[in-house]
Amino acid sequence: MASRSILFAALLFFVVESRRASGSCVNMSLFSTQLDLMLAEYDRAELPPGPIHVKAALDVHHATIDDTTATVRLLAAMHLSWEDKRLSWNATTWGCHNSMTSSEKLWLPDVNALNAVTSGNAAGVGLRARLSSDGRVSWVLRFDLTSPLSLQLDAWPRDVQHAVFKFGSRHHGAAYNLSVEDLTHDLTVFESGTWELTEVTSSESVWRGGDVLGWTVSLRRRAAAHALAGGSVLAAAGSAAEWSAWAAAAQLLDRLLLAAVLFALFVLVCMFASA
């Protein structure tokens, strides 16, 4: 009997500690009430107290180049995190370490793409944010971006193209600092078609008093696909005029050859006539 009690106590301790480690709530009903009360007094229009440091990590899901329009398309998720002490609580008293809530209830950094066109709805709308008891907030922005690209075709059909996507606040001198954070998990990239994603690098800069983050996406043309993309590459490079010039030169060459053949026949006829 004693061994069963010890086994049950050990199992109970394991379950409780596992729930705490995973961020599960002991009493979800009590925690939901406490969280609702905290958010009722929260003003999303006000900035979080103290210096605001927003960290950003870009998770690239797919990237490809359209040779016919000389544009690059990027599908990516940007993971943002910052600290807002107004959203902290006592995890022991509330019985919960983490929670998900609507991002529309919170102050959010206005991070946007600065040099690309966003397709579809505004990124991040309707997505939930993750709250931690220490006041950390995590939120994900999803981007579908299209940007013009100056194609470098010197090494075609084994060329590598580089596209830079810049992000920051559209309000110069934003009230928060923005910095790059490395991803803590492997990239999940969907690849298909002519282009292969080879590398993603990040950079930080300042423009008009505001922090600007840049990610350079490197794409390599697949050798097996260059034959199918040949016509598109020539069109994107503005080579239609070049092909017209080549066609005119070829037509002129044909005429010269025809004239040479006719002249040779004329000479032969004259030689036979004089004989």
Alpha-carbon distances of 18 from 12, 15, 26, 133, 189, rounded to whole Å: 10, 5, 11, 17, 32
Q: Does the pLDDT value for residue 40 go beyond 90?
A: yes
With a pLDDT cut of 70, the percent of the chain lying above it is: 71
Which amino acid is it at 149?
A: L
Residue carrying the six token digits 């004089």:
274
Neighbours of 269 (CB within 10 A): 10
- Position 265 scores a pLDDT of 74
Give the integer Cα–Cα distance in Å for 180 and 162.
19
The sign of the CA dihedral 107, 200, 191, 162 is positive
The pLDDT-based confidence of 21 (bands split at 50, 70, 90) is very low
Kindly give the pairing relationship between strand 177-180 and strand 53-66.
parallel
Rg (CA), the chain: 32
Q: Where are the alpha helices (DSSP H) in 22-159?
A: 28-40, 91-94
Q: Does the pLDDT value for residue 166 go beyond 80?
A: yes
User: pTM for this one?
Assistant: 0.71
Read off φ and ψ for residue 86, nearest 5 degrees.
Answer: -70, -15
Give the integer Cα–Cα distance in Å for 84 and 87.
6
Give the integer Cα–Cα distance in Å for 89 and 96.
9
Q: Of 8-12, 64-68, 194-198, which range is least confident?
A: 8-12
Q: Does the pLDDT value for residue 99 go beyond 80?
A: yes
Alpha-carbon distances of 16 from 7, 9, 27, 132, 164, rounded to whole Å: 14, 11, 12, 19, 47
The pLDDT-based confidence of 79 (bands split at 50, 70, 90) is very high
- Position 11 scores a pLDDT of 45
- Position 268 scores a pLDDT of 75
Q: Does the pLDDT value for residue 190 go beyond 80?
A: no
Q: Torsion-angle region of residue 153: left (phi > 0), alpha (psi -120 to 50) or beta?
A: alpha
Question: Would you state the structure tokens that stand for residue 146, as one six-digit string?
Answer: 């299209």
Higher per-residue pLDDT: 32 or 173: 32
The pLDDT-based confidence of 35 (bands split at 50, 70, 90) is very high
Neighbours of 116 (CB within 10 A): 22
Alpha-carbon distances of 208 from 216, 255, 259, rounded to whole Å: 21, 62, 67
Q: Taking residues 198-208, what's their average pLDDT?
A: 92
